[in-house]
């Protein structure tokens, strides 16, 4: 394995899907896997998989493919998924609770060390090994435990003020599941998950599919073809 290179955002987004395939291969006892096989499973082009994997610094063997264990190590290292990311979750509603239960994230270093919620009836409940604490404890907890990430699953109406509070207490990275575009000071990282985007893409795809079913037998790829699988 040589050194990692800079990667484009589309590449970074595809790496987790590769990792999943490769971890499955490991669980099946396989020692090597080729870019071609990964591409087949994900319906991507082999050259794209090779290019993407190259950013991790992995070096393969012609004719054989890549070492499964080296590939897992390389992707995990590239994504920083081989270290623990201590995080807190704000808003223990259904979405927040769902995230607490995702073992996939936990396996890849995301450790949710506490959740915070204003509802007194939820306090001290332990869901998926994570205790729910009152909002009043938030500032002290952050200063004491120094979590790196705050996961925002609060209602949109309190998203900005919650972000302000955790940033003031020292959190430098936010994973924002609300539909609010947060205003944060320079140096604070925000990753926004936008389910509306997905709904929009689904809606447009459905419209195209309906149209092509009515009007012709042609398969109707999304306009913008090549990138339609993102």
* Counts of helices then strands in the chain (DSSP H, E): 9, 9
Tell which one of 29, 187, 219, 224 touches DNA (CB under 7 A).
224
Q: Which pair of tokens denotes residue 63?
A: 């004719």
Buried b / exposed e across 121-149, counting CB within 10 Å, b at 16+? ebbeeebeebebbebeebeebbeeeebbb
**Contact between 226 and DNA (CB under 7 A)?**
yes
Residue 53 annotated as part of some ligand binding site:
no
Q: Across the chain, where does the E strand assignment appear?
A: 32-33, 66-67, 85-90, 110-116, 126-127, 130-133, 149-152, 173-176, 189-192
Residue closer to DNA, measured from CB, 64 or 206: 64
- Contacts (CB under 8 A) with a second copy, residues 51-110: 78-81, 85, 93-95, 97-98, 101-102, 104-105, 108-110
Residue 109 annotated as part of some ligand binding site:
no
Q: Using CA atoms, how far apart are residues 116 and 166, in angstroms rounded to an integer? A: 11
**How many residues does this entry show for the chain?**
230
Tell which one of 31, 136, 145, 194 touches a second copy (CB under 8 A).
194
Tell which one of 1, 64, 84, 195 touches a second copy (CB under 8 A).
195
Binding at 45: pick from DNA, a second copy, none (beta carbon under 5-8 Å per type) = DNA
Q: Could you tell me whether strands 189-192 and 149-152 are parallel, antiparallel, or unpaired per DSSP bridges?
A: unpaired
- Contacts (CB under 7 A) with DNA, residues 81-110: none
Q: What angle do CA 122, 124, 130 make, to 5 degrees?
A: 95
Residue 198 annotated as part of some ligand binding site:
no
Contact track, a second copy, 112-141, x by CB under 8 A: ------------------------------
Q: How far is the CB of 184 from a second copy (least distance, A)?
A: 11
List residues near DNA by CB under 7 A: 8-11, 34-37, 44-48, 50-51, 53-54, 58-66, 224-227
From the annotation, which residues make up the binding site for NAD(+)? 91-96
């Amino acid at each position: 394995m040589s050194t990692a290179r800079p990667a484009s955002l589309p590449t970074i987004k595809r790496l987790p899907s590769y990792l999943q395939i490769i971890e499955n291969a490991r669980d099946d006892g396989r020692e090597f896997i080729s870019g071609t096989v990964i591409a087949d499973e994900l319906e991507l082009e082999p050259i794209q998989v090779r290019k993407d994997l190259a950013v991790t610094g992995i070096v393969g063997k012609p004719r054989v493919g890549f070492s499964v264990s080296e590939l897992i190590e390389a992707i995990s290292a590239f994504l920083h998924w081989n270290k623990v990311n201590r995080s807190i979750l704000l808003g223990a509603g259904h979405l927040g609770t769902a995230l607490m239960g995702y073992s996939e994230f936990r396996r890849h270093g995301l450790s949710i060390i506490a959740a915070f919620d204003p509802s007194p009836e939820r306090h001290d409940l332990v869901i998926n090994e994570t205790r729910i604490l009152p909002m009043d404890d938030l500032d002290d907890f952050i200063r004491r435990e120094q979590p790196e990430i705050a996961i925002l699953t609060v209602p949109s109406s309190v998203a900005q003020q919650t972000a302000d509070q955790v940033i003031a207490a020292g959190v430098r990275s936010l994973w924002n599941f609300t539909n609010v575009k947060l205003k944060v000071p320079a140096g604070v990282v925000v990753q926004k998950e936008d389910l509306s985007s997905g709904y929009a893409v689904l809606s447009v795809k459905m419209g195209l599919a309906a149209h092509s079913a009515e009007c012709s037998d042609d398969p109707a790829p999304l306009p913008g073809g090549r990138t339609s699988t993102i």
